[in-house]
């Protein structure tokens, strides 16, 4: 575990202004955040050794077992084809791996991963990348709802449009959406950052505890306790480096992106008197 730090650039960017008494296990990021893109403790793999996996006629369990077999044989790259939008594929991969998926995944694709770099040529269903710890997932087309639910690290990228509740309960990492997202994106977000290059639906950042949401398009409505904040130079620098990494651009330029953070008025909510609750709601 990395050393717990109570200072760093995340403070300079306006996050973590709260006192961290009795709070541990919080890893702060540097602006480049490259350390989060692969699992730091995983052994190196030979990406030149390529395994292929045709999913035609296989069920999800058999496919996931086969991925592990190929990894144990030393394959650092796996090219997976014909996934047929099946659910629960490519889950629980806990090591470095270059995984290239030709086709679309169903629900819970690439959930619980810790370290692989995944490219998906098609679309993903609900809850792609749920609980991912590290690594990258790049989806070339659209994604369903609860994209990146409760992710804790790594980069989760969708070049197309995403459904509702994107990044619900996000606890770390970065979610990047090339198009628009639906309602309740960033709902109960706790840490991490989300970049939405298109429009965002109603109740954006509803009940967020912390974290930052950047929006390039229109925001249909902010949720409870989500408040606008000013972009600073560190935001712009980080946004540029992150978007450059995936060859993406803000439609109206980075300078015109909106930044949304938690108002933190709901913190210690339970200690408020009923009359005070009315004030914050």
Partner 1 sequence: MCGIAGLIHKKAGGANIGQEMTDMLQALKHRGPDSTGYALYGAPISNYIMRINLAEQADTKKGFDVATQLQSRNDQVDARMAELGAQVAKKENSTSYALRYEVSFDGDLKNLIDYIEDIEGVEVMSCGNGLELIKDLGDAAVVSAQYGINSFQGSHAIGHTRMATESDVDIRSAHPYWAYPFADVSVVHNGQLTNYWTNRRALERLGNRFNSNCDSELIAVYIANRISEGDDLEKAMRRSVEDLDGVFTYLVATSDSLGMAKDVMAAKPMVIYESDDFIALASEEVSIRKIFDHDIDTFDPYEGEVRVWQL
Q: How far is the CB of 181 from partner 1 (least distance, A)?
A: 9
**Which residue among 98, 117, 142, 258 contacts partner 1 (CB under 8 A)?**
142
CA–CA dist 258, 143 (Å, integer): 23
Contact 93, 73 (CB under 8 A): no
* Number of residues in contact with partner 1 under rule CB under 8 A: 28
Contact 105, 147 (CB under 8 A): no
**Which residue among 16, 96, 123, 193 contacts partner 1 (CB under 8 A)?**
123
**Which residue among 8, 14, 32, 84 contacts partner 1 (CB under 8 A)?**
84
Contact 232, 31 (CB under 8 A): no
**Quick one: which segment of 82-90, 236-244, 253-261, 263-271 binds partner 1 (CB under 8 A)?**
82-90
The conformation of residue 222, written as its DSSP 8-state character, comes to B
Q: How far is the CB of 55 from partner 1 (least distance, A)?
A: 12
Of residues 11 through 30, those in contact with partner 1 by CB under 8 A are none
Characterize the bridge pairing of strands 191-196 and 171-177. parallel
Q: How far is the CB of 154 from partner 1 (least distance, A)?
A: 23
57: Cβ–Cβ under 8 A, 6 or more apart, which residues?
none
**Quick one: which segment of 4-12, 24-32, 43-51, 123-131 binds partner 1 (CB under 8 A)?**
123-131
Which residues share a beta bridge with 158? 139, 177
40 versus 62: smaller Cβ distance to partner 1: 62
For residue 202, state whether it binds partner 1 (rule: CB under 8 A): yes
Angle CA 18–21–23, to nearest 5? 90
Between the CA atoms of 262, 263, 267 and 271, what dihedral angle is there, to the nearest 10 degrees?
-160
31 versus 202: smaller Cβ distance to partner 1: 202
Q: What mask, x for binding partner 1 by CB under 8 A, covers residues 103 to 122? A: xx-xx-------------xx
Q: How far is the CB of 141 from partner 1 (least distance, A)?
A: 6
Burial environment of residue 41 by CB neighbours within 10 A (0 to 12, 13 to 18, 19 or more): exposed
**Quick one: which segment of 44-52, 151-159, 179-187, 260-268 binds partner 1 (CB under 8 A)?**
179-187
75 versus 226: smaller Cβ distance to partner 1: 226
The conformation of residue 2, written as its DSSP 8-state character, comes to P
Characterize the bridge pairing of strands 134-139 and 155-158. parallel
Q: What mask, x for binding partner 1 by CB under 8 A, covers residues 27 to 66? A: ----------------------------------------
SS3 label, residue 174: strand
171: Cβ–Cβ under 8 A, 6 or more apart, which residues?
150, 151, 152, 190, 191, 192
Judged by the rule CB under 8 A, the positions of this chain that interact with partner 1 are 84-87, 102-104, 106-107, 121-123, 125-126, 141-142, 144-145, 160-161, 163-165, 182-184, 201-202
């Amino acid at each position: 575990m990395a050393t717990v730090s109570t200072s760093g650039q995340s403070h300079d960017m306006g996050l973590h202004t709260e006192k961290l008494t009795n709070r541990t296990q919080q890893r702060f990021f540097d602006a480049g955040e490259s350390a989060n893109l692969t699992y730091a403790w995983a052994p190196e793999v030979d990406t030149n050794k390529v395994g292929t996996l045709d999913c035609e006629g296989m069920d999800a369990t058999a496919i996931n077992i086969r991925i592990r077999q190929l990894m144990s044989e030393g394959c650092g790259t796996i090219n997976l084809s014909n996934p047929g939008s099946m659910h629960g594929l490519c889950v629980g991969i806990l090591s470095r791996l270059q995984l290239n998926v030709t086709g679309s995944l169903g629900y819970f694709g690439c959930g619980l991963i810790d370290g692989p770099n995944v490219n998906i040529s098609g679309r993903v269903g609900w809850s792609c990348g749920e609980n991912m710890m590290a690594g990258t997932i790049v989806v070339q087309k659209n994604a369903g709802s609860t994209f990146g639910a409760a992710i804790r690290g790594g980069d989760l990228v969708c070049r197309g449009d995403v459904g509702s509740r994107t990044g619900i309960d996000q606890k770390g990492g970065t979610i990047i959406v090339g198009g628009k997202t639906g309602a309740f994106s960033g709902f109960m977000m706790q840490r991490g950052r989300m970049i939405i290059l298109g429009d965002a639906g109603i109740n954006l950042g509803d009940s967020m505890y912390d974290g930052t949401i950047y929006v390039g398009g229109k925001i249909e409505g902010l949720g409870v306790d989500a408040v606008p904040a000013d972009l600073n130079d560190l935001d712009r620098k980080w946004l540029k480096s992150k978007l450059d990494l995936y060859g993406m651009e803000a439609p109206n330029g980075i300078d015109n992106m909106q930044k949304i953070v938690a108002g933190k008025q709901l913190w210690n909510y339970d200690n408020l008197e009923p009359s005070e609750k009315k004030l914050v709601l």
